[in-house]
């Protein structure tokens, strides 16, 4: 299923520990690993939190090896917003989430398949 074909739920959390806890809670409500995603402003952090939570990274540093160990720069904010929008969010929501990520927070996304 393509992300564009799904409804998305999102929650901003303060750190990776809270992201792992949120993913755990979502699993108890029936979400599976392929429906759960995390995103942090730093690609390496995204991968670490995703691995710890058993979720998928929205963007991975393995997807963009040249970005490994490098924080996404403000010039790439539009690209980050586009990735979030691709998960089923409006431009306004995507901009808000991107701003929160810039502050060091983590975005947890759960996609619900349409039946």
pTM: 0.80
pLDDT in tens, 68-115: 333 333 447 888 898 899 888 999 999 999 999 999 999 999 998 654
Report the share of the chain in percent with pLDDT over 70. 77
Higher pLDDT, 41 or 20: 20
12, 51, 64, 115 from 58: Cα distances, Å: 14, 12, 12, 23
pLDDT of residue 36: 95
Q: What is the mean pLDDT of the chain?
A: 81
Per DSSP bridges, beta strands 106-113 and 6-13 are antiparallel
pLDDT in tens, 90-102: 999 999 999 999 9
Structural domain of 31: 3-113
What's the domain count of the chain?
A: 1
Nearest to 43 by CA among 57, 29, 22: 57
């Amino acid at each position: 299923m393509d992300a564009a074909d799904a409804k998305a739920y999102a929650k901003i959390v303060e750190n990776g520990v809270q992201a792992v806890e949120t993913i755990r809670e979502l699993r108890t409500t029936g979400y599976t690993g392929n429906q759960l995603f995390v995103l942090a402003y730093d690609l390496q952090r995204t991968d670490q939190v995703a691995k710890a939570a058993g979720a998928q990274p929205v963007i991975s540093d393995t997807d963009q090896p040249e970005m490994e160990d490098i924080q996404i720069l403000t010039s790439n904010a539009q690209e980050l917003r586009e990735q979030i929008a691709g998960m089923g969010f409006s431009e306004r929501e995507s901009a808000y989430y991107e701003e929160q990520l810039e502050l060091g927070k983590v975005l947890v996304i759960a996609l619900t398949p349409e039946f």
